[in-house]
Copies of this chain bind each other. A is one copy, B any other.
Amino acid sequence: MAADPSRVISNLRELAALTSDENGAQRVAFTPTWQKARDWFAGKLSGLPVGRHRDAAGNVWLTLPGESPRSLVLGSHLDSVPNGGWLDGALGVLTALEVLRSIAEDCNGRPPFTLRLVDWADEEGARFGRSLFGSSAFAGKDSIAADRLRSDRDGITLEAALDENGIEIDRIGDASAEQENIAAYLELHIEQGPVLERLGLPLATVLGTKGVERHAITFRGQEAHSGSTPMQDRRDALAAAARLALEIYTIAGRHKDAVCTMGSVKTFPGIVTAVVGRCECTLDQRDLSPDVLAQMYREAIEASERFASQQGCTVEWSRIWSIEPIPFHPKLIALCRESIEEIAPGCPSLPSGPLHDAAEVARAGIPTVMMFTQSLGGISHNKVEDSSEEHLGLAVAAFDRLARKTLTWLGQE
């Protein structure tokens, strides 16, 4: 019997009621509310023939042993940002649970391949600024040295918070042992953007996660008196930054799905009576194509130098963070599209702008794909985050088909 969307939705509402306040979901990783969510989830497993264990990085795994140890993993995360929504992460975990239950029933508890569910630890990185914590430890990409320095706004270190949650920081890399026998990974997530709503479609196949170039840019001109400095004598660092804030629309606009964002601008001295002498801004550029990403990065540097020169300023770039584009698996992309077309004809293929745990799994060399379902208003990380129940139902049905098609594919390989 196919997965039951109504059970997924009622579980999501129950979890939201248990772990939200008037400002939204509060399942921040490594806090008591998160632990409460995980305990509640463990209570939902009764009657299911699954084993449950936590790995060295705090990821929780359910395992339904199959005829073969080769396994299909369905996953997502129960943690949320502070004041988050009811779907981000939780939709993927609770849909995975329902699909696992449904397949277990259909196979009398013994599928042809092992079926696993993973609830990744701290996808959001909301407390310590380190997103994809559990999945990157799993992928072996974790940098313990950098993580050791992290602390939350109360000065509590990540190391101490992990310790409190029974996780040893020096051993989180051991989570990579979980990679053994994994043949495929599937993740359902809300889009967190407006594209599907604009297209009037419920579901999409995700082609991969965009690469990111993230930089701090500082323009330096000359602080000067706003009353006594003629316009032509100014070396206005804000004017140079303003040109770049607009130029990034041209730079991104040359490519179909590319995005460039100036999210922060700080002016110094930043007073009403002084021409801006120094302007610090950030630039976040994303695309699924490494070539496009490299081109946009190069064009932004060139433009910033041209604008700095035009305004009598200098400019300096400093990389904050970057990650390469991570394409998903062609066969799984095809199966995902097929599953969606059978449920809701018209399946767009989108890159994911936000990163997801699936990106880390794919980096570990495991065939991976994600499915997106429409977000109302494109809003997430907010208590108003929502999707229609109709679309959530279609998502559960399509993801169920995808899991079954993937098991079939594993048998054909």
B residues in contact with A76, CB < 8 Å: none
B residues in contact with A198, CB < 8 Å: 233
How far is B228's CA from A353's CA once the two chains are assembled, in angstroms?
5
Q: Per-residue CB proximity of A225-242 to B under 8 Å, as 1/0? A: 111111101000011011
How far is B263's CA from A198's CA once the two chains are assembled, in angstroms?
38
Residue of B with least CB distance to A271: B263
If A226-B286, A270-B263, A271-B264 touch, does A245 touch B239 (CB 8 Å cutoff)? yes
A273 engages B263 (CB within 8 Å)? yes
A238 engages B230 (CB within 8 Å)? no
A378 engages B228 (CB within 8 Å)? yes
Within the complex, which residue of B228, B242, B257, B379 is in contact with A354, where a contact is CB–CB below 8 Å? Answer: B228
Report copies per complex: 2
If A264-B270, A265-B265, A274-B263 touch, does A284 touch B320 (CB 8 Å cutoff)? no
A219–chain B nearest beta-carbon distance, Å: 12
A52–chain B nearest beta-carbon distance, Å: 32
Within the complex, which residue of B224, B252, B379 is in contact with A378, where a contact is CB–CB below 8 Å? Answer: B224
**Interface flag for A54 (CB, 8 Å):** no
- Which of the 9-residue segments A11-19, A188-196, A388-396 touches chain B? A188-196
B245 engages A261 (CB within 8 Å)? no
**Interface flag for A352 (CB, 8 Å):** yes
**Interface flag for A381 (CB, 8 Å):** yes
Q: Per-residue CB proximity of A320-342 to B under 8 Å, as 1/0? A: 10000000000000000000000
A320 engages B272 (CB within 8 Å)? yes
A386–chain B nearest beta-carbon distance, Å: 15
B231 engages A253 (CB within 8 Å)? yes
A350–chain B nearest beta-carbon distance, Å: 9
A260–chain B nearest beta-carbon distance, Å: 8
Residue of B with least CB distance to A320: B272
Quick one: which of A224, A264, A274 has the most chain B CB within 10 A?
Answer: A264
How far is B307's CA from A246's CA once the two chains are assembled, in angstroms?
12
Residue of B with least CB distance to A231: B252
B residues in contact with A253, CB < 8 Å: 231
B residues in contact with A212, CB < 8 Å: 227
- Top 7 nearest A-B pairs by Cβ distance? A227-B353, A193-B228, A242-B242, A226-B261, A242-B245, A228-B353, A272-B282
Instruction: Spell out A's residues near B (CB within 8 Å).
Output: 191-195, 198, 210, 212, 214, 224-231, 233, 238-239, 241-243, 245-246, 249, 252-253, 257-267, 269-276, 279, 282, 284, 286, 320, 352-355, 378-381
Task: Beyond the given A224-B379, A225-B380, please list 17 additional residue pairs across the A-B interface where CB-CB is below 8 A.
Answer: A192-B228, A195-B230, A225-B378, A225-B381, A226-B259, A226-B284, A226-B286, A227-B352, A230-B259, A238-B265, A246-B246, A262-B276, A263-B274, A263-B275, A264-B267, A272-B284, A272-B320
- Could you write out 10 A-B pairs with CB less than 8 Å apart? A191-B228, A194-B233, A225-B378, A226-B259, A230-B259, A242-B243, A264-B267, A264-B271, A265-B276, A272-B284
